[in-house]
Chains A and B, each alone.
Chain A
């Protein structure tokens, strides 16, 4: 039951994108088409779960015992960069169809702050391993939901008449604000 609550909370109440402001660059950059946004969303879920698992183990068995906590940032980002590279090579060789659909998004994920953000967040919240991995999955799903919804809205927005100055990113941000407001309504759901 706790896991279920956490899942709902990470997707709707504390959405990683709309309530915690992580991963805005792909949110505005990769949300022009629905297909692209789904690909990006899956890539983020996949890498976020892997990265959280790996960084959790490194933090627990290497950084903490040897008192190297201050190296957290540099180690985490290198692990994520390495992991992304590895996943890319693995998929290319073993699962070509998946590589074809995710391939172009993988390099972008290294600098997606959602992935590093989730890895650091679970450390700060002091979750145990299973909870941390589950949280990363739920947060990734929340990211995907926001991204796909936004892509749907932007497809309609492309044919709408928008004031000249607001075309492109500006109206995208205002839209994001309205979506964030809608998600804000879930705040009361979990006390």
Chain B
């Protein structure tokens, strides 16, 4: 049980996909013009990632090593086709606004990356926890980036007006250049925050504060990363 919780939570902060692992940047940049697009894309990725991790982990002993990448891609592609059809049936406006990026979930590095790095080596329950965690982390990042861009670029959030009356929308944010700069600044902020956390942890360590939960979790997360 503790293992499941650990695999799930690492995707939420310690290894949050687009920011920490720098994987899956194309959808992160392309579909975050509004918070709801980012959220919808994240949902589709959760579905594909959790199920692909489940299936790959379940058949990991049958797949020959040499053709494993092709197998992973086939499994992911079948799931993406499923998502595509579900979205066409139930959330057609979202499907249209995500456009070409729905089929492109297949080549989202997060999916293959997790399959190769985690699902192919771990039992089913851990793989599903990892997939769900990574998916939720991905959704959070996309929604956050989308919210930032939507608030400054259009003055609204999830389609509701949030800025004051005289607010001039900042066109730069919803165009391509804004996406790159915005993601870059967020990455920089995350690095800064981590450095600050580490400094503080070090200072706390000197005071022999072993009670803080973060200290207990940190070595495990670092071990995972290496």
* A is bound by B: yes
What is the interface of chain A mostly: helix, strand, loop, or mixed? helix
CB-based A-B contact count at 8 angstroms: 128
Which residues of the other chain, B, contact A120 by a CB distance below 8 angstroms? 100, 103-104
Which residues of the other chain, B, contact A81 by a CB distance below 8 angstroms? 69-70, 73
CA–CA, A176 to B29, complex, Å? Answer: 12
What is the interface of chain B mostly: helix, strand, loop, or mixed? helix
- Interface size, chain B (Cβ < 8 Å): 41
Which residues of the other chain, A, contact B30 by a CB distance below 8 angstroms? 20-22
Chain A CB within 10 Å — which of B81, B100, B107, B178 has the most? B107
- On whether the beta carbons of A73 and B184 are closer than 8 Å, the reply is no
Which residues of the other chain, B, contact A25 by a CB distance below 8 angstroms? 23, 25-26, 109
A101 on the interface (CB 8 Å rule)? no
- Interface size, chain A (Cβ < 8 Å): 45
CA–CA, A55 to B220, complex, Å? Answer: 45
Which residues of the other chain, A, contact B84 by a CB distance below 8 angstroms? 70, 73
- On whether the beta carbons of A28 and B25 are closer than 8 Å, the reply is yes
CA–CA, A164 to B198, complex, Å? Answer: 14
A98 on the interface (CB 8 Å rule)? no
Interface residues of A (CB under 8 A from B): 18-25, 28, 70-74, 76-78, 81, 110-113, 116-117, 120-121, 124, 163-167, 169-178, 180-181, 184
In the complex, the 4 A-B pairs of residues with the closest C-beta atoms, listed nearest first: A173-B184, A177-B180, A177-B181, A174-B184
